[in-house]
Amino acid sequence: MKVNRNKQFDYTPRYYDERKERLEKLKSKYEAEDANYVEGSAEHRARMKERMASSWNLQTVHSTKSRAANIRLIIILAALLLGTYLLLNYIDLFSSEVTIIE
């Protein structure tokens, strides 16, 4: 008589962090570029200026998107409040016209 055994497998869980890999690539890229530039040279200053400008542009784009989202939220809330106010006044208009005759 043949007894079935449990099937075994070799599984090693892996974790993939895309953000960490992207940061490592950027870090190695900039380290390689910085190694080519002599600190204090015109090329090095130009590169640093370019990095600062690109960083500033990313921050202004983010703040512009955030401001637009906040304005949209305020407009939606105002429209909902106005609609609620008009609806309640409309209901109140009909309820005041109804009179009970005894």
Number of domains in the chain: 1
What pLDDT is recorded for position 16? Answer: 80
- Indicate whether 12 belongs to any domain: no
Residues 44, 50: Cα–Cα separation, whole Å: 10
Residue 24 lies in a domain: yes
> Best-predicted range by mean pLDDT among 39-53, 55-69, 81-95?
81-95
Domain that holds residue 45: 18-97
Task: Output the pLDDT for position 83.
Answer: 94
Contact 27, 33 (CB under 8 A): no
Is residue 72 predicted with pLDDT exceeding 60?
A: yes
13 located within any domain: no
Does residue 78 lie in a domain region? yes
Percent of the chain with pLDDT over 70: 77
Which DSSP state fits 83?
H
Q: Is residue 3 part of a domain?
A: no
* Residue 78: both structure tokens together: 């105002």
Contact, 87 vs 95, CB < 8 A?
no
Geometric angle at alpha carbon 90, from 89 and 96, rounded to 5°: 80
More confident residue, 99 or 17: 17
